[in-house]
Amino acid sequence: MNYSRSSALFAQAEKVIPGGVNSPVRAFKAVGGTPIFVKEAKGAYLYDEDGNKLIDYINSWGPMILGHAYEPVVHAVIEKAKKGTSFGMPTEIETQIAELAVSMVPNIDKIRFVNSGTEACMSAIRLARGFTGNDKIIKFAGCYHGHSDSFLIQAGSGAVTFGAPNSPGVTQGTAKDTLLAKYNNIENVKSVIHANKGEIACIIIEPVAGNMGCIPPKNGFLQSLRDLCDTYGILLIFDEVMTGFRLAKGGAQELYNVNADIVCFGKVIGGGLPVGAFAAREEIMNYLAPLGPIYQAGTLSGNPLAMAAGLAMLETLNNDTELFNRLAKKTEYLHKGFAEVLSENNISHTINRVGSMISIHFTEDQVIDFETSAKGNNETFKKFFHGMLQEGIYIAPSAFETWFITDALTYKDLDATIAAVKKVTSKF
């Protein structure tokens, strides 16, 4: 495939945007080569500036669960835009989407909308700190909760892709309040709690990790966290930016039947527009300004276009009773196909999958946490990434990101993808 126009656009972008991109993973530095510039997208496919058609497994890193340019979302945004794009005043649609979200997600009474998953997680820990009166938070190595200071300690996603899981610019004062634990290791969490008794506000976790590849929680791990939080008066925060409205209507809370105290959303909830949200039971949410003392705000929060897109998306998810099963079946189909062809080609691999999230790790060891994820062979991943691209399949340009399956993918697309994996890895 030819990428000359993308290369030219990237060269132009590099002159005025640091690294030529507005989010580092997009620069392709971890895999080499030139990032692809998108012209448009529809359903399961991306069309790039060089005229190539690609089957998309990133889907804007999760939001496009129904495929690109999903008609009801596009229609809702266009109609809303005709009536004004931002007022900085309340609108009825904010209550409509809030009511729907609260009805779909277990264990939440109130929700506040922000503009990104980063904002949602950043605000959630402030709320937890204000509510409990404690400063410290526990996060898990390899989990990524956006680029706010407190989270850039052993962070996953782009941070680890670029070897900067602990970013310069985060003060030591901030870093000392972020305690690290090992994903899927409850004994380790216990020891962190014991060493900091009475000082911890919250444990924040991706209930299914998606930023060190896809890593499911071990059986009982989330419930054990819940129990520990109850014992020690710590709030449990589920960062459901990836899993919310993707694994089930009620996200990971519903799938694993474990209640979080605060839940963070992003991606699907905005239907592809910049939306994040955090939610909790009333007792906690009422600590937020203007009812309570914990400040949080945003000029564009609850923006009408974003709310219209989110509402159209959530309405579809709420009405389509088979959607999550369909997505899980498609993902299982891919999983089986990948496992078969990778084994045939003698490629060491581990495939992790939950619902419509999946990742291939080039290691034969189980991948259960950051350490085991980091054992994946990155040279093999690079070859795999570029080989797949040549076959017209677009996956994330980093071994630490999850593939997101969309309902727009047909079984023909899935078969083409499995065939591509077979062809590409036969040359390794």
Q: Give residue 96's region: left, alpha or beta (phi > 0; psi -120 to 50).
A: alpha
Contact status, residue 297 vs residue 123, Cβ threshold 8 Å: no
Least Å distance, CB 157 to ligand HOZ, is 4
Least Å distance, CB 237 to ligand HOZ, is 18
Residue closer to ligand HOZ, measured from CB, 26 or 110: 26
Contact status, residue 181 vs residue 138, Cβ threshold 8 Å: yes
Query: What is the Cα–Cα distance from 399 to 29, expressed in whole angstroms?
Result: 12
259 secondary structure, DSSP code: -
Least Å distance, CB 9 to ligand HOZ, is 16
Question: Percent helix, strand and coil across the chain, each rounded to 5?
Answer: 40, 15, 45
Residue closer to ligand HOZ, measured from CB, 213 or 304: 213
Helices then strands, counting H and E runs in the chain, come out as: 15, 14
Query: What is the Cα–Cα distance from 360 to 171, expressed in whole angstroms?
Result: 35
Least Å distance, CB 26 to ligand HOZ, is 5
Residue closer to ligand HOZ, measured from CB, 221 or 400: 400
Per CB under 6 A, the segment of 18-26, 82-90, 260-268, 370-378 that binds ligand HOZ is: 18-26
Least Å distance, CB 206 to ligand HOZ, is 10
Using rule CB under 6 A, residue 63 touches ligand HOZ: no
Q: Which residue has its beta carbon closest to ligand HOZ?
A: 23
Q: Give residue 48's region: left, alpha or beta (phi > 0; psi -120 to 50).
A: beta
The first and second tokens of residue 86, run together, are 């931002």
Query: What is the Cα–Cα distance from 301 to 157, expressed in whole angstroms?
Result: 25
Using rule CB under 6 A, residue 25 touches ligand HOZ: yes
CA dihedral of 420, 58, 63, 416, whole degrees rounded to 10: -10
Residue closer to ligand HOZ, measured from CB, 26 or 246: 26
Least Å distance, CB 27 to ligand HOZ, is 9
Using rule CB under 6 A, residue 119 touches ligand HOZ: no
221 contacts: CB under 8 Å, gap ≥ 6: 184, 186
Least Å distance, CB 25 to ligand HOZ, is 5
Q: Report the site for ligand HOZ in 204-223 (rule: CB under 6 A).
A: 211
Number of amino acids touching ligand HOZ (CB under 6 A): 9
Q: Report the site for ligand HOZ in 290-329 (rule: CB under 6 A).
A: none
Using rule CB under 6 A, residue 346 touches ligand HOZ: no
46: number of Cβ within 10 Å: 21
12: number of Cβ within 10 Å: 12
What is the contact mask toward ligand HOZ in residues 147 to 166, using x (rule: CB under 6 A)?
Answer: ----------xx--------
Residue where the block lists tokens 């989010």: 23
Residue closer to ligand HOZ, measured from CB, 118 or 372: 118
Query: What is the Cα–Cα distance from 15 to 31, expressed in whole angstroms?
Result: 21
Residue closer to ligand HOZ, measured from CB, 76 or 141: 141
Q: Which residues are catalytic?
A: 144, 239, 267
Contact status, residue 331 vs residue 353, Cβ threshold 8 Å: yes
Residue closer to ligand HOZ, measured from CB, 25 or 125: 25
Q: Which of 333, 360, 359, 356 is nearest to 405 (CA)?
A: 356
Per CB under 6 A, the segment of 19-27, 249-257, 278-286, 336-344 that binds ligand HOZ is: 19-27
Using rule CB under 6 A, residue 26 touches ligand HOZ: yes
Residue where the block lists tokens 């991109």: 21
Using rule CB under 6 A, residue 57 touches ligand HOZ: no
Q: Report the site for ligand HOZ in 389-418 (rule: CB under 6 A).
A: 401
Q: Which of 160, 260, 248, 159 is nearest to 207 (CA)?
A: 260
Residue closer to ligand HOZ, measured from CB, 113 or 404: 404
The first and second tokens of residue 333, run together, are 């189909």
Per CB under 6 A, the segment of 23-31, 32-40, 81-89, 311-319 that binds ligand HOZ is: 23-31
Using rule CB under 6 A, residue 23 touches ligand HOZ: yes
User: Would you tell me which residues interact with ligand HOZ (CB under 6 A)?
Assistant: 23, 25-26, 61, 144, 157-158, 211, 401
